A and B are shown apart, each in its own frame.
Chain A
């Protein structure tokens, strides 16, 4: 498949997940600000900006600037509104490979952005989650399981890992507040399944364990990383008996084992650091995938010179 198209599908996956997860993350944050009087608005918004990689913010960090920066402002690259725009651009340039249904779902979502930016925050988050669920459901039902599909899945899983790591950082930085973990689980749509899994015992460590390590819960770090690894393995058709030729696969595998095989307490003690490391691994894997599958210009000019 064309490298450019593969790249577009990878990014459709990433943007789709990012829009969805940003809505979830903001939902948690807003609920915390409303429900927990102990939360200091400026500090917690500052922390969230740091978690979302916004470093040079000059205004006052509060719920309003947060909503602008991460949800409404189409000029802010981190905002849901502009992420949906980027997803639609990526979809447009891969349009002939997308099914008509997937394209229409993405296109109508994008067309709904102006209306969505005049909704109240909670309404907008719900709208985003419904729309992204619709796109992903349509994709699931109508995309053939070819290379393109695996690039899309790869993009989604890497983004999901990255964003779940950010959600976990946000919850951890809220300190002792039990509400934070509950909200995080709710935001992931995993609160009820968590209660069933742990038979109603609500402990912060249990919640962290669930979101980090549960192999059955599709939004956990370990699940998302495994999914990404599976997709990469499917893409690496040549295969290998030993070792990993694929840098992306090596990076993702190492990140997963570092989480999976370490004692939970150890991770919890240095949670923000661990989560940051995870995000760096995702970024590095994304670069490795880009270098191998998408950006062949350099590789090409190199062979060109040799063959002369």
Chain B
């Protein structure tokens, strides 16, 4: 492959490309474009291989069908300018605040039902609505301690919300490891940009978790609860526990005693106050949910109800993730915050609505159909690429259970240059920014996880479907100070030089 071929065939693309605009390479990408243009293609490959092997060595993996795979990191970064980021940040904060207000209301007074903002039925028929937690008031009012709001850029380059994740959003560990890998894999390009750091995440998360401690606990013990080594996100659980300096526990390490939660240590039982759980609701407590679950802790929900332990994120948050509820979020923002939504939803039809359903059924072959409680791209049917048989099957499903489906137009996701077999080519991406709510404010990690669909034209950007990731650079403004060096890195604080070694080696005069 010659140098010219690296970017060959990369020109104006259908839809919005984040590097190439109508008049060539956008200013934002000139440095990156030039750097890759200067580098011999073999070197680009070598560096990309270096990234892959360092991930393999460190075991930065995710699980697919019980098998550990290194998480592919593309060597071309994705860049977001400060102004565009301001909008994302404000939009995410606004959305999280509205969802918090919604959850508090839905599990509490239920004013939104009386005011007719969302039908009560829509909420209580959600498979993620848990009556068992109604009436549990979270310690500092927070239910969504961590959220990941999935965004895409449409044909105009505008950010739009694809879905909300208020349960156990994952992927933040790759944001941190990607940054680390890129700063050593592409140091010269990295140094040419002023990039907002991401390593503050763990500190921010720990302080939000501590702030959520039960009343009267001044120095809470925080733990991360994992389903164990076979979970697909196990790497992330270990990274979060390690960088927060807290214990990573499994269900079998915990025990409930008189409404309190304790962990088994070599010195006996020790109290636990805040549990950042990475287990789904259904598996948390066999007394309240699935009796066959061996992952959870019997009695956990009672301890939370007694106010002795905080479960983060709160149980029952799934109603906020329900894709049917998604269609109401703009209304929720207006209702609770009296503001207009900053980030727009993707146009959505509710199949539960007779009129909308008729339209959807007429246009099945041109729409994207999504099950309302699915995640990870499961069950999604893309009309234009489905066979007649698949569409007939889908039609029957929608008619049988209309509440379970929403429909959206096929949106053209933006593309970003990505290293593939043939060279650097445009590939579809999405973005999951992570937000941490400590009760006083919602903090948004600058950047987030950019997932990239490696097969050409593939629209579902998901790691379980052969997706990769990109380091996402949010640029700082020229005058803006970059925060202190990442916690995780070793800061060079001393300018002291080492004393020279004066003792002669043996054998020297």
Q: B-contacting residues of A (Cβ < 8 Å)? A: 1-6, 89, 92-93, 95-97, 100, 103-104, 107-108, 111, 147, 151, 235, 237, 293-294, 296, 300, 304
Contacts and interface: CB of A to CB of B under 8 A. Distances in A.
B453 to A, nearest CB: 28
Contact of B238 (A96, A104, A293): A96
Contacts of B257: 304
Contacts, number: 62
A70 B488 CA distance: 41
Given A89-B229, A104-B58, A111-B57, 13 more contacts: A2-B265, A3-B253, A93-B229, A96-B238, A96-B241, A96-B242, A96-B247, A104-B57, A237-B267, A294-B266, A296-B264, A300-B269, A304-B257
Contacts of A294: 266
A290 to B, nearest CB: 11
Given A3-B253, A89-B229, A235 B266 contact: yes
Given A92-B229, A103-B58, A104-B57, A1 B265 contact: yes
A96 B269 CA distance: 20
For the complex of A and B, list the 9 residue pairs with the smallest distance between their C-beta atoms, beginning with the closest. Answer: A96-B241, A96-B242, A95-B238, A96-B238, A96-B248, A107-B59, A3-B264, A293-B266, A6-B266
B266 A3 contact: yes
Interface string B48-64: 00000000111100000
Contacts of A293: 266
A88 to B, nearest CB: 9
A89 B234 CA distance: 13
Interface string B223-256: 0000011000010011101100001111011010
A108 to B, nearest CB: 5
A111 B247 CA distance: 27
A304 B266 CA distance: 18
A2 B237 CA distance: 16
A2 B242 contact: no
B497 to A, nearest CB: 24
Contacts of B237: 96
Contacts of A92: 59, 229, 234
Contact of B57 (A95, A108, A147, A296): A108
B263 interface: yes
A100 B234 CA distance: 15
B57 A2 contact: no
B59 A2 contact: no
Contacts of B57: 104, 107-108, 111
Nearest to A106: B59
Contacts of B253: 2-4
A2 B247 contact: yes
Contacts of A103: 58-59
A4 B264 contact: yes
Interface string B264-283: 11111100000000000000
Nearest to B68: A92
18 contacts: A1-B265, A2-B263, A2-B264, A2-B265, A2-B266, A3-B264, A4-B249, A4-B252, A4-B264, A5-B247, A95-B238, A96-B239, A103-B59, A104-B57, A111-B57, A151-B266, A296-B268, A300-B269
Contacts of B238: 95-96
**Which of A89, A107, A237, A294 gathers the greatest number of chain B CB atoms within 10 Å?**
A107
A96 B249 CA distance: 10
A3 B264 CA distance: 6
A97 B239 CA distance: 10
**Which of B241, B248, B266, B268 gathers the greatest number of chain A CB atoms within 10 Å?**
B266
A1 B248 CA distance: 11
Contacts of A108: 57
Given A89-B229, A92-B229, A95-B238, A1 B266 contact: yes
A100 to B, nearest CB: 7
A6 B247 CA distance: 12
